[in-house]
């Protein structure tokens, strides 16, 4: 299945059905009076988070969604049926954002402007639902216009229009641990080593082109590990669409930062990635982070220790592991360090969500 993490779609709720103009007609009743019923309410646009989906690829081929219109009223005071609601199913982790609008007064000398988007909904649990657009109310039938002075009204309501808008769907993967690093740092090899994921591995940069998820089982505990494509300088500003990739680790409680020990300058690699985490925002630089010097099987132990010393002294790295994603050397010790951080991250989330651990979620 192809992976797609953002899509733009058009949604429109149903119009209300028109009211009826009708008069009672029965034998021996010359002036039966009005009996036109009201029209039905239009269908709502509802979004629901469901299990079993992990991509927005379906929205590439279907981009317009319209709910059913309410049915018209009829004589004998019969109300029209309401239009059927349209339920749009999305993966857990999906956010719904408004179409970007220009920020007033942000125009630069070259004519460029800043744009902002409003977060309309954030789906973090299976079964979560929200009525994003409400269908229009049905029009009034002529019976409802009858008064003491207007005994035979012929006016009726045509039904209220539905709501419509363009929205962006953005998927942020839900994982416990996020794997970050520059291209060719060995992230795919690492995730293949610790999970059953079959990520593509190659001796060139940007082998990984889409986020990967895998389940790690270590010391009878399970956690979900997310691998994102390599980050380059300027990723937070969109270089190499790195801003989209960074969004997938926003929800992670812990980060593992892999550094290629065979690269030209491991210290500079570390600093570039750290700068991008800070520039992106969203608290990424504040998450618990474990640094691992990878590809230890390709260099001698003495040289690896020398590089590790540079990272500690020049970059201020405190917790550092020397590993080999290919052979598994040093990986168990790294995973041992991850487990207690997972508990701390979960406790922090519960404190943020309230005493009962339930998020105070709002659609706006």
Domains in the chain: boundaries: 1-171, 177-353
Closest CA to 282 of 256, 255, 250: 250
Tens-digit pLDDT string for the chain (364 aa): 467 888 999 999 999 999 999 999 888 887 889 999 999 999 999 999 998 888 898 998 899 999 999 999 999 999 999 999 999 999 999 999 999 888 887 777 777 788 888 999 999 999 999 999 999 999 999 999 999 999 999 999 999 999 999 999 999 877 899 899 888 888 888 988 888 766 554 443 444 556 788 889 999 999 989 888 777 666 555 554 546 678 888 888 899 999 998 888 889 989 999 998 888 888 888 888 999 999 888 887 888 889 889 888 887 887 789 999 889 999 999 999 999 998 776 656 555 555 444 443 333 3
Q: Report the top-level CATH class of 1-171.
A: mainly beta
Confidence (pLDDT) at 352: 57
The tokens of 199 are what? 């990520």
Closest CA to 80 of 21, 24, 38, 139: 38
Specify the pTM. Answer: 0.74
Confidence (pLDDT) at 52: 85
pLDDT in tens, 68-82: 999 999 999 999 999
Confidence (pLDDT) at 243: 64
Mean pLDDT rounded to a whole number for the chain: 85
Confidence (pLDDT) at 318: 78
Q: What is the dotted CATH code of the domain comprising 177-353? A: 3.40.50.300
Instruction: Please state, as a whole number, how many other Cβ atoms lie within 10 Å of the Cβ of residue 336.
Output: 12
């Amino acid at each position: 299945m192809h992976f797609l993490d953002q899509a733009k779609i058009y949604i429109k709720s149903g119009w209300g059905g028109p009211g009826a103009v009708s008069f009672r007609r029965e034998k021996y009743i010359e002036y039966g009076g009005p009996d036109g019923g009201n029209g039905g309410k239009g269908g709502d646009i509802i979004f629901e988070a469901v299990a079993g989906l992990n991509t927005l690829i379906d929205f590439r081929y279907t981009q317009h969604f319209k709910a059913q219109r309410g049915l018209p009223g009829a004589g004998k005071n019969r109300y029209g049926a309401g239009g059927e609601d349209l339920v749009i199913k999305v993966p857990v982790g999906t956010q719904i954002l408004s179409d970007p609008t220009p920020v007033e007064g942000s125009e630069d000398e070259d004519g460029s402007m800043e744009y902002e988007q409003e977060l309309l909904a954030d789906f973090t649990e299976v079964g979560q639902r929200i009525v994003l657009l409400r269908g229009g109310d049905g029009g009034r039938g002529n019976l409802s216009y009858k008064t003491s002075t207007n005994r035979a009204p012929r006016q009726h309501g045509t039904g209220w229009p539905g709501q419509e808008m363009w929205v962006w769907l953005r998927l942020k993967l839900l994982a416990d641990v996020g794997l970050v690093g520059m291209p060719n740092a060995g992230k795919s090899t690492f995730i293949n080593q610790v999970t059953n994921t079959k990520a593509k591995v190659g001796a060139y940069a940007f082998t990984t082109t889409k986020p990967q998820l895998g389940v790690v089982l270590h010391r009878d505990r399970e956690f979900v590990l997310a691998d994102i494509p390599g980050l380059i300088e300027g990723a937070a500003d969109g270089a190499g669409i790195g801003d989209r990739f960074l969004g997938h680790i926003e929800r992670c409680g812990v980060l593992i930062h892999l550094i290629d020990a065979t690269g030209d300058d491991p210290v500079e690699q570390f600093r570039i990635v750290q700068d991008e985490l800070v520039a992106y925002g969203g608290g990424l630089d504040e998450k618990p982070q474990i640094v691992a010097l990878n590809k230890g099987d390709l260099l001698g132990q003495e040289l690896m220790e020398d590089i590790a010393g540079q990272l500690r002294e020049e970059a201020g790295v405190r917790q550092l592991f020397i590993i080999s994603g290919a052979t598994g050397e040093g990986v168990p010790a790294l995973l041992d360090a991850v487990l207690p951080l997972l508990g701390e991250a979960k406790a922090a989330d519960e404190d943020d969500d309230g005493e009962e651990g339930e998020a105070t979620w709002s659609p706006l």
